[in-house]
Amino acid sequence: MTHNNEEILKLFNDSFLTILDKINDPLIVIDKDGIVVYVNKAYEYQVGVSRENILNKNLNEKYPDDKLLKVLKTGQPLKGYEHYNETLGYDIIADFIPLKDTGGEIKGVIGVGNANVIYKISRHLQALVVGNGGKTRQKTFYRKKIEAFKDIISDDPGMLNCLNIAANVAQTDAAVMLRGETGTGKELIAKAIHKAGNRSAHPFVEINCAAIPENLLESELFGYTAGAFTGARATGKRGKIEEAHCGTLFLDEIGDISPGLQVKLLRFTQEKYIEKLGGTKKIPVDTRIISATNRNLEQMIQQNDFRIDLFYRLNVVPIFIPPLRERIADIPLLAYHFLDYYSGKYGKDLSFTHAAINQLQEHIWPGNVRELKNIVEQAVILCQTGKIAADDLQLDFLNISLKNRPFTLHLNTAVEKLEKRIMVEALSKAKNNKSKAINYLGISRSAFYAKLKKYGILEP
């Protein structure tokens, strides 16, 4: 019986291309003439182009400086190369490998991008610069945005959308209102917007409106003149608004300011001048305002606790930051980020067990990212072995876990939490035998692996 080698090779090649379409890293292949002969689905998705628009295109015609062409010319591979990619228009980390025949002749080049968190955030923060800017201006603006947002770690579509909005509004002077629960990172995003904007060379001034007594908040914001009240400085004092001249004023917990102070703040947003406490002089101030709150301002407006005209002044561009419990895939990313930081700080070399990561993902995180950061720091300090186990995580004292969490009306969150729990239980019952787990669940193999990836489930 003879083997049909050509048929087997064809099946192998077809299967190989199918596999390449399954990987998350963007991949592109050019031939010896610089013509694109293959891109996978990840390339289509992350670059934002269809195969029909790039296949059979010659890079020499439009992108003569592309690194694929450089490797084609030199025959020298580039590994882990971070650079500004002219084809894509933004920074990537990629490997470029020459394809050679048995005689050593170069037949093409394969480029594989790194689909890590920074890459994905970079993709979502791609600048769309129009007008007379040209490539240099686009590159400068883009690099500025990536530098500003580099400390924000996320792979969640909802969070990436927030960052995209924040990056786009950064170049304007529009008032931004950050909405979200305590600990979701509102201050971090506010600072990133300032750094990415045209006011980055000027001060970023922040004030927590809930942390200062009502009778002192007005003088903190607007300043006061000499002798304005008992105990006032003889020289008077500049307020936070004036300190932020030409820069950005971040008003955290904006929902906690009194009705009287709301009136004065509204006047400033309309007329762009302030009057210090105890004074009558109008002082012009050019300040961008970014506000933040975890309160339901719409309900407060209905109850006459917050002025609707001030709301519209501050809420020009609202950004709703999702809580950590809705960013399940981000929990391992953030946990390892904090682990690396605190391991270095306390001189340890630690990692997490799979059970610890799964337990972190089952917690609903009422304190959000701030709570996760504290839990990881505590675990690093107390861990006596090389791995942080589930028992090292001090979560039980809050009595909040997936099994006894409070009821939620957020349907998508509830469904995802339950689905992840069932997936974990199926794997446990199947003793990590994926085929058995798939049978228990009654879903297709592709759906099973898609959910493993979606929820970041690590098998025991």
- Give residue 166's identity as a one-letter amino acid code: A
Residues 217 and 311 in one domain: yes
* Full domain range(s) for residue 395: 325-455
Residues 244 and 295 in one domain: yes
Residues 78 and 202 in one domain: no
What confidence score (pLDDT) does residue 270 get? 93
Decide which of 298, 320, 342 is a domain's last residue: 320
Domain annotation covers residue 48: yes
Distance between CA 130 and CA 120 in Å, rounded?
A: 23
Are 227 and 278 contacting, i.e. CB atoms less than 8 angstroms apart? yes
What confidence score (pLDDT) does residue 255 get? 93
Domain annotation covers residue 134: no
Q: Rg (Cα) of the chain, in Å, rounded? A: 27
Structure-block tokens of residue 125: 């923060």
Domain annotation covers residue 22: yes
Domain annotation covers residue 165: no
What confidence score (pLDDT) does residue 195 get? 93
Decide which of 87, 115, 143 is a domain's last residue: 115
Distance between CA 241 and CA 268 in Å, rounded?
A: 9
Domain annotation covers residue 369: yes
Output the CA torsion 101→103→108→110 (10° steps).
60
Q: What is the CATH number of the domain that holds 76?
A: 3.30.450.20
Closest CA to 326 of 369, 355, 296: 369
Q: What is the CATH number of the domain that holds 266?
A: 3.40.50.300
What confidence score (pLDDT) does residue 240 get? 95
Residues 81 and 63 in one domain: yes
Residues 314 and 342 in one domain: no
What confidence score (pLDDT) does residue 121 get? 45
Structure-block tokens of residue 77: 């591979």
Residues 97 and 197 in one domain: no
Residues 61 and 92 in one domain: yes
Distance between CA 96 and CA 148 in Å, rounded?
A: 28
Domain annotation covers residue 160: no
Profile the chain (460 residues) by mean pLDDT over runs of 10 residues.
Answer: 54 66 76 89 65 84 84 85 54 78 86 56 39 41 67 82 87 93 93 93 95 88 83 82 96 93 94 89 95 92 94 94 88 89 91 88 88 94 90 65 45 69 78 81 82 69
Residues 230 and 304 in one domain: yes
Decide which of 261, 293, 320 is a domain's last residue: 320
Residues 363 and 428 in one domain: yes
What confidence score (pLDDT) does residue 332 get? 87
Residues 183 and 306 in one domain: yes
Residues 310 and 405 in one domain: no
Residues 90 and 110 in one domain: yes
Q: What is the CATH number of the domain that holds 413?
A: 1.10.8.60
What confidence score (pLDDT) does residue 244 get? 95
Where does 182-253 show beta strands of DSSP type E? 204-208, 223-224, 237-238, 248-252
Model-wide pTM > 0.75: no
What confidence score (pLDDT) does residue 232 get? 73
Total count of domains within the chain: 3
Domain annotation covers residue 69: yes
- Residue whose entry in the numeric block shows the structure tokens 């530098």: 147
Domain annotation covers residue 126: no
What confidence score (pLDDT) does residue 92 get? 60
